Structure 1
């Protein structure tokens, strides 16, 4: 049984996945999506792991078009009938569900899993102002599709004073809206309006702002890498602000550093494993918020390709190593 990892081009995540296979003396190789389409009809005895497209595009609207192209690729793959001994690790239809934050929340909520609540999605800046005024608390405006904090806007608005405070990765430079790798603080409506409109143009969701638990004065949430039955890794993502993604120069802390009860930890484990199964995934990275003062866990989103944790890759590469061991054990047995 060979294992194939697929993306549009090689990256650190595909490189370390192949390296984990090499260290296990397992047959693991990389293919592009074009190569995968060409070889699928004749492929035999293989497990295929689909990774997201790699892109250095910073133009937010152009990147949204690339994301659409990637979704179309998954939709094409979903229509292909695989030979009986070829499997997707995470099937394309499940990855498409996880890419759609709105659909993900609806599916999980329907299965009694707690998620960060959504408000009605605004279609214009005027509707956004009205929604924020009616709600009376801070909100997150996010692209409906995608991950990595790209395009996220943490918004506080005081309608009486017409005061804004927005934290976002977006920045408008020379008429082009760029997604950057740092957080910008905006307070002027004329600066905020074009960014919010761009996010809504690509499809957006509006989420309630739930206060996050803190560790040593910093807000934190969790990236829980897990399968249907096991937890592989938990990284604590800490930030002075509300956006905690680690590639934005935020701090990664250890799961063992948190003073959470064993009951809360087990509730988080159960919540994440059930979310993975409910979405039809085998592996995922589940982002979990713990509400300050109640220790109630909420799923923020589920990333069907969120099993890459650089702190682990560069140290022990244990996530990919265990994943490949599990794949070989499960599918070698299935084909006997």
Structure 2
């Protein structure tokens, strides 16, 4: 789960819907060449082994214009992870960031147009425990980065479920369960789920080994994520 290219490959092999990805890139020049070859002008560039959106760039290119949204702070040629999401629109800075990240490996996916509600884009963290989608948190943002620790806000699960419709919601939950099933030796997984704008489709962004910290999110029987994990494992110990 912590190796994004390998995780993406495992999900793809299992038929789980994921955004398409580019092959390996080793820096900014090869990234732009691969984007041109694929005909993509918007991508998410992710460190292959990163977490919590650290080092992630939402990159858009349109003719001579270029823009990247990221939590990376570039200061005096050095990179820092910052909780304030910022925008770069000069190619030199963006190239420097990508080239500095590239030696540790990059995973590049086509930008998936996320659904929005109330002028905020959104995705969901779905915690799958023992083969069941048990807990859901909606993460909403005014930027492409939805991680809650970046100052974003939780959304209303009921409203999102209603907007998607029961059929699309159920299909998305099944995809989350299938994604978690790609890792049969783990009891739980935090699955990042994206609905496409218009709610007609969905894709899995990532699967997280440590994605179960969801305070105050309870199941119908009153269990938080940790309580649900204990309840799921106890029968196996008898």
Structure 1 and Structure 2 fold alike (TM over 0.5): yes
Separation of aligned partners in 2, 1:105 and 1:251:
27
On the 8 A contact 2:116/2:122 being kept in 1, the answer is yes
Residue 328 of structure 1 pairs with residue 234 of structure 2: yes
Match of 2:83 among 181, 195, 198: 181
**Residue 150 (structure 1) aligns with:** 54
Question: Aligned to 2:227, what secondary structure does the other structure show?
Answer: helix
Displacement of 1:325 in angstroms is: 2.2
Could you say which residue in structure 1 is the equivalent of 2:170?
266
Which residue, 265, 283, 289 being the options, matches 2:194? 289
Question: CA 1:319/1:294 → structure 2, altered by over 3 Å: closer, same or farther?
Answer: closer
User: What is the rounded CA distance, in whole Å, between the counterparts of 1:311 and 1:253 in structure 2?
Assistant: 13
**TM-score, normalisation: structure 2:** 0.91
The superposition leaves residues 64-102 of structure 1 with CA deviations (integer Å, 9 ceiling, x where unpaired) of: xxxxxxxxxxxxxxxxxxxxxxxxxxxxxxxxxx11111
1:221 to 97, 109, 123: 123
The equivalent residue for 1:61 is none
2:179 to 249, 258, 275: 275
Please name the residue that 1:126 is paired with. Answer: 29
What is the distance in 1 between the residues matched to 2:84 and 2:216? 19
Cα distance in 2 for partners of 1:237, 1:303 equals 15
Q: Distance in 2 between matches of 1:289 and 1:120?
A: 22
Tell me the secondary structure at the aligned position of residue 143 of structure 2: coil
Residue 294 of structure 1 deviates from its aligned partner by 4.8
Q: 2:225 aligns with which of 319, 331, 334?
A: 319
- 5 Å-filtered alignment, 1:6-155, equals 98-134=1-37, 135-155=39-59
Q: Kindly tell me the number of residue pairs found equivalent between the two proteins.
A: 231
Q: Distance in 2 between matches of 1:155 and 1:172?
A: 16
**Bigger Cα Rg:** 1
Shift of 1:297: 1.4
CA contact (8 A) 2:131 2:180 kept: no
Gaps of 5+ in 1: 1-97
- Asked if the contact 2:136/2:217 (under 8 Å) is kept, the reply is no
Shift of 1:254: 2.4
**Counterpart secondary structure, 1:305:** coil
Q: Given the two structures, how large is their TM-score scaled by the length of structure 1?
A: 0.65
Distance in 1 between residues matched to 2:177 and 2:16, nearest whole Å: 11
1:270 and 1:282 map into 2 onto residues whose CA distance is 17
Matched, 1:238 2:140: yes
Q: Is the 8 A contact 1:285 1:305 kept in 2?
A: yes
Moved over 4 A (4+): none
Greater helix content: 1
Unaligned ranges ≥5, structure 2? none
Distance 2:228 2:199 in 1: 34
